Amino acid sequence: MTVNNANTQISAGEQTYRIYCAVCHGIDRKGNAASGTADLSTLSQIQTQQYANDIITTGKAKMPGFPNLTNEVKQQLIDYLFDIEKKEVITANLSTEQQDLYQFTGYTKFLDDNGLPAISPPWGTLTAIDLNTGKHIWQTTLGITPGLPDQDTNPTGCENYGGPIITENGLLLIAGTKDGMFRAFNRFTGKLLWQTKLPAASFATPAMYHINGKQFIVLACGGEKLGTPKGNAIVAFALE
């Protein structure tokens, strides 16, 4: 179904896409690799309609779900994303005020000529906050930017997506950084205790579980979100 909007004809599915999806994935559906939003222009070639339906309903990673959309509206959106919608034209009489006067073309980051943030570092931090008072207990730089000097002694921090987990014995464990590292901090002081390089960046909060009294931490290492190398590994660590 297509709506005639002044000089532009858009389908019901595209209209839904513009309302809920275009702000992150762009009008052209190609996403923005720098912001970590997926390219949906080839969705039909790599995923099923059921997968798309599930993600629209429940969300994934930093994408929110839209459980309140009706099945009809979701199917119209899926038909648009998979380029299978019926082009049945209807005419809508819209006033000038109702026309799409503005379009979102994606996030633009404030970067310098080298693609680095055009602000003073740190470009990534980890902060412990007392939720009773709102005061910062400690704050430390999170991540490094390879290629810049003095990263071992004076790290700049880097963009990160994914939260930490903590253990009863005082560890704070976090991946999530563009540099592809997994780190352990003292949860009470913020001191870096240990770090290791992952096979690919893990832009997610680690999972934690117990088997036969032993504690394990597991991470999904997929990379790719911020232009980092793509990976396909699940990595587990045991706490002694």
| pTM of the predicted model as reported, rounded to 2 decimal places | 0.64
Q: Domain segments of the chain: what residues?
A: 2-98, 125-239
* pLDDT number for residue 171: 96
Q: What percent of the chain has pLDDT over 70?
A: 87
* pLDDT number for residue 76: 92
Mean of the per-residue pLDDT values of the chain: 86
Task: Taking residues 182-187, report their average pLDDT.
Answer: 97
Residues 6+ apart with CB under 8 A from 162: 174, 175, 176, 202, 203, 204, 205, 206
* pLDDT number for residue 87: 61
* pLDDT number for residue 96: 47
Long-range contact set of residues 17-25: C-beta below 8 Å, sequence gap at least 24: 17/77, 17/80, 17/81, 18/100, 20/66, 20/69, 20/77, 21/77, 22/103, 22/104, 23/104, 24/63
Q: Output the six-digit token pair for 136.
A: 């910062």
CATH number of the domain at 125-239, out of 3.40.50.720, 2.40.128.630, 3.30.70.260, 3.50.50.60?
2.40.128.630
Rounded distance, CA 21 to CA 5, Å? Answer: 19
* pLDDT number for residue 100: 52
* pLDDT number for residue 63: 84
Tens digit of each residue's pLDDT (9 = 90 or more) over 86-129: 765 544 444 444 445 556 666 678 889 988 999 999 999 999 99
* pLDDT number for residue 184: 97
CATH number of 2-98: 1.10.760.10
* pLDDT number for residue 225: 80
Instruction: Please check the confidence at residue 75 and state whether its pLDDT lies above 80.
Output: yes
Task: Taking residues 216-221, report their average pLDDT.
Answer: 96
Q: Pairing relation of β-strands 89-91 and 136-141?
A: unpaired
